[in-house]
A and B are shown apart, each in its own frame.
Chain A
Amino acid sequence: MFPLTEENKHVAQLLLNTGTCPRCIFRFCGVDFHAPYKLPYKELLNELQKFLETEKDELILEVMNPPPKKIRLQELEDSIDNLSQNGEGRISVSHVGSTASKNSNLNVCNVCLGILQEFCEKDFIKKVCQKVEASGFEFTSLVFSVSFPPQLSVREHAAWLLVKQEMGELIFMLFRKQSLSLGRDDIVQLKEAYKWITHPLFSEELGVPIDGKSLFEVSVVFAHPETVEDCHFLAAICPDCFKPAKNKQSVFTRMAVMKALNKIKEEDFLKQFPCPPNSPKAVCAVLEIECAHGAVFVAGRYNKYSRNLPQTPWIIDGERKLESSVEELISDHLLAVFKAESFNFSSSGREDVDVRTLGNGRPFAIELVNPHRVHFTSQEIKELQQKINNSSNKIQVRDLQLVTREAIGHMKEGEEEKTKTYSALIWTNKAIQKKDIEFLNDIKDLKIDQKTPLRVLHRRPLAVRARVIHFMETQYVDEHHFRLHLKTQAGTYIKEFVHGDFGRTKPNIGSLMNVTADILELDVESVDVDWPPALDD
């Protein structure tokens, strides 16, 4: 059923005459249910023209253009009174000498520039879907985002002013009194109508629902180069709305334009911009059709068995100093299987190149950016873990699992708050006996002050860090060697605690024992973070 009624005839005629398409006409008449918009364009055009040609038996007020307001009001009020007496509640106003409904040069809509003409119909949607399918993403839902050129807001504003003006302020207010719609807020937004039409078409074509929370995004950007300058006059009148920001190419963003349109006075606007808006020669151009999938996160714990492996690639001046890295040995496999663009590796702290990580391993999380494949069963993840473990004996991975972005917070918390235990092989210059190291076992919660170690001073701020050595346990090896097991606060530099770092870590093993001590080997025995959840293997 055609959604427009007699009230809308005048506005509809006016808009059609000035070059506005049927769907935009619906919008300006406040048609807020989806069905009419979904009908094919040609059909809508026909129906609209039929609707406008019909005349009905009703009271038509002929108003001079423009008539003195007082008379108008009086006439109207009289007729309204008459009508209500007759039990009818409808008024139609038409101008003297209104032109017969033109079949118009309704090539390109002067308000939507083609968006609600060809760009919301099946053929175009099919074209977009072809690109989506060709992109090779795996998805079970999608969110559709569309971007229109900012000048559409300007044209919308002009069209609204046109309607408002032609209706006359007073009649306008009367209509509102009679709740016969057509306030600014009753106009259906372009983007909303566009989505009403296109969402079901996308769903049907791609076989998945539209979900605002979906990680898979299809985005279409429209531009209209022909009318790019439509917005420029706003900058002269409201300069403070248009501040250049670093990342934006143009100062005329949708937000800025909307802001200016809200500010600008009607008279000023009408001086600068044609009302009704002119008919453009061409429709909008599609600037881009892009697909992207939000990042997915994989977590686990790694063991490091090599004393010659950095955590991240060690490259100086473009030259790789050491082969491979913990990060690459784990992530390369994930990158391939998830078909992701890139990754971000993070872990709950890290160890030096020459330090092993034993025990349960160190928690890590990898963000896979723009993955093309995202659905994996837990069996598949287990197999992926096995694959990583088979590919290298330098590292091993456990508890590999998909996690949410929020979970990363747990891991980083661990870095700063949780304790770690270590095992160190220590050399002393002076000969020692078993009894010389026993006292260390009795020291609990030893407070130490560490200046930023010299070996990291080039890339860390100079500061003093207070740290705690919770407990220590010694194992005598020989006159110049012993093993030290220790549990420390997060962020403690163990090597410096042993050798003292030129006396910049105090106290240190050397100062406690009154010897010169150095560290020969260090292993991480445990990272006391209970995340990610352990999986049964």
Chain B
Amino acid sequence: ILHSLVQTGICVITLAESHPVLQSGKTIKSISYQISTNCSRLQNKVSGKFKRGAQFLTELAPLCKIYCSDGEEYTVSSCVRGRLMEVNENILHKPSILQEKPSTEGYIAVVLPKFEESKSITEGLLTQK
């Protein structure tokens, strides 16, 4: 997982180049934001300047599940503590964008960390299944 931190503290969660899903030969069958029976990241709704209603994320909180045609399943976790602003619905409709433009249009989610002063960029761990 790669995080890009904009100066303002906003985090865009994207897949690191080394992620298995981005290796050649892999085809993504589908992506789901339903991470448990009760929780769908698609239901995340923030309102107002202070983004009330955002789902709170810890480092290990799952963002989405990627299902590949070869049967492999990958869970992408937040790796950043903060509040979920939005998940990328474009990759739901067109999963190939995730592979074609992983660090721009194919982003996974946008998170607003608690401490906006943080200037560190961390390399997260990959999780499988």
Contacts and interface: CB of A to CB of B under 8 A. Distances in A.
A455 B49 contact: no
Given A502-B105, A516-B104, A454 B6 contact: yes
B8 A461 contact: no
A192 to B, nearest CB: 49
A454 B7 CA distance: 10
Contacts of A213: none
B8 A462 contact: no
Contacts of B9: 458
Contact of A462 (B6, B7, B86): B86
Nearest to B90: A503
A149 interface: no
B47 interface: yes
B39 to A, nearest CB: 19
A500 B106 CA distance: 12
B112 A502 contact: no
Q: Which of A458, A459, A516 has the most CB atoms of chain B within a 10 A radius of its CB?
A: A458
Q: Give the interface SS of chain B, mostly helix, strand, loop or mixed.
A: loop
A460 interface: yes
Q: Give the interface SS of chain A, mostly helix, strand, loop or mixed.
A: loop
B116 interface: yes
Interface residues of B, number: 23
Nearest to B117: A317
Contacts, number: 48
A507 to B, nearest CB: 12
A448 to B, nearest CB: 15
Contacts of A462: 46-47, 51, 85-86
Nearest to B8: A458
Contacts of A455: 6-8, 10
A59 interface: no
A461 B101 CA distance: 27
Given A457-B112, A458-B9, A458-B10, A502 B85 contact: no
A500 B104 CA distance: 9
B110 A461 contact: no
A530 B73 CA distance: 60
B49 A454 contact: no
A516 B104 CA distance: 10
B104 A461 contact: no
Interface in A447-503: 451, 454-462, 500, 502-503
B64 interface: no
Given A462-B86, A503-B104, A457 B49 contact: no
B12 to A, nearest CB: 6
A458 B112 contact: yes
A518 B48 CA distance: 29
B112 to A, nearest CB: 7
B105 A457 contact: no
A458 B12 CA distance: 13
B88 to A, nearest CB: 8
B96 to A, nearest CB: 13
A459 B90 CA distance: 24
Nearest to B52: A461
Nearest to A511: B105
B49 A502 contact: no
A457 B9 CA distance: 10
Contacts of B46: 461-462
A-B pairs with lowest CB-CB distance, top 4: A503-B105, A458-B8, A502-B107, A462-B46
Given A502-B105, A503-B105, A516-B104, 18 more contacts: A451-B86, A454-B6, A455-B8, A457-B10, A457-B85, A457-B110, A457-B112, A458-B10, A458-B112, A459-B8, A460-B49, A461-B48, A461-B49, A462-B51, A462-B86, A503-B97, A503-B104, A503-B107
6 contacts: A454-B110, A455-B6, A456-B8, A457-B8, A461-B48, A516-B104
Interface of A: 451, 454-462, 500, 502-503, 516
